Amino acid sequence: MPFAPALAHEPDAEEIALGALVDAELAFARMSAERGMRAAFLANFAEDGIAFEPAPVRLREAWSARPAPADPLAMRLDWKPAQAGVARSFDFGYTTGPFTLSSAAQPAQTQGVFFSVWRRNASGAWEVILDVGIATPVAADFVPLGASPRPHFKGRANPRDERRRLLERESNAFGAGAAGLTPTGYAQLIAADIRLHRDGAAPIASRGDVAAEVARRMSRVWWTPLDARVSAASDMAVTWGRYREIDHVPQPRDGYYAHLWLRNAAGRWKLAYDIALPAGL
């Protein structure tokens, strides 16, 4: 049944920016299918774009130094965005969704979930500044997770100052020189619609479910940030670095994290996506 004409409306600026971001992700995926992963990733990543392998590396620098595969389509990566969000300044955004990885030698597919952070370059085109993926036991269903998390901050702020504050917060409050973050402290940091991505498990959503899972997994965690990027509107940011987590045995686990922070209406940064990969992958 067609929509009634009265319900139609012209897209607003946020819808236009979001549509452009999703189109960029879809074009990236098409290029990978047609020309291979190497060509597509080198073409769509920013010069300083980071990929997790599992340690974060500058993708264009690392991949350009490696020999090109004899058959660029021997390894096939297929993906599509299921959810996305943009900053109020429309220069910064994220996409996430399911992926499958297969090859002629190993036709059995690896399934997982990708998470990418994008930034508009000087010419206005979207480019990837961070990409990290987790494996999942089955294809991920994003419908039960709810709507895409989004920022609600409408005030003014200096992105350079906010970048410094976020890095200092992770370094000083939760870093190696501090007491670390307990599950109770973690629960106070996270957004109501937080998403937890952990390798080998399906994504988890909502403050209650994520806080319960984190409390089950660990007794304390330390974050050591390596860098951060902040939107021009200072309402969306990504940080990444190393973590050390102590479980209840206690046994330490080391790895790498990416955090997407969104600012709420009161101006407080809340953790919206917490993605971690163990160092031993």
Direct distance between the N- and C-terminal alpha carbons of the chain, in angstroms, rounded to an integer: 49
**Predicted pLDDT at 104:** 79
User: Is 159-278 a CATH 3.10.450.50 domain?
Assistant: yes
pLDDT value at position 175? 59
Q: What is the full DSSP assignment across 40-55? A: HHHHHEEEEEEEESSS
pLDDT score recorded for residue 177: 60
**Exposure string over 136-146, b if 16+ CB within 10 A, otherwise e:** beeebebeebe
CATH topology of domain 5-145: Nuclear Transport Factor 2; Chain: A, (3.10.450)
Token output for 152: 């609600």
Q: pLDDT value at position 265?
A: 96
pLDDT digits (tens, 9 = 90+) for 114-143: 999 999 999 999 999 999 999 999 999 999
To 10 degrees, what angle do helices 37-44 and 13-35 make?
Answer: 150
Spans in the chain with pLDDT lower than 70: 1-9, 173-177, 281
**Residue 215, Cβ density class (10 Å: 0-12 exposed, 13-18 middle, ≥19 buried):** middle
DSSP state of 69: P
Residue 17 contacts residue 232 (beta carbons within 8 Å): no
pLDDT attached to residue 213? 97
d(C-alpha 62, C-alpha 51), whole Å: 9
Give yes or no on whether 5-145 and 159-278 have one common fold. Answer: yes
What's the pLDDT at 250?
85
pLDDT at 109 (0 to 100): 83
Q: Residue ranges of the domains in the chain?
A: 5-145, 159-278
The C-alpha atoms of residue 64 and residue 68 are separated, in whole angstroms, by 8
Distance, CA of 71 to CA of 244 (rounded, Å): 39
pLDDT tens profile 77-109: 999 999 999 999 999 999 999 999 998 777 778
Strand partners, 128: 45, 118
> Residue 249 has what pLDDT?
85
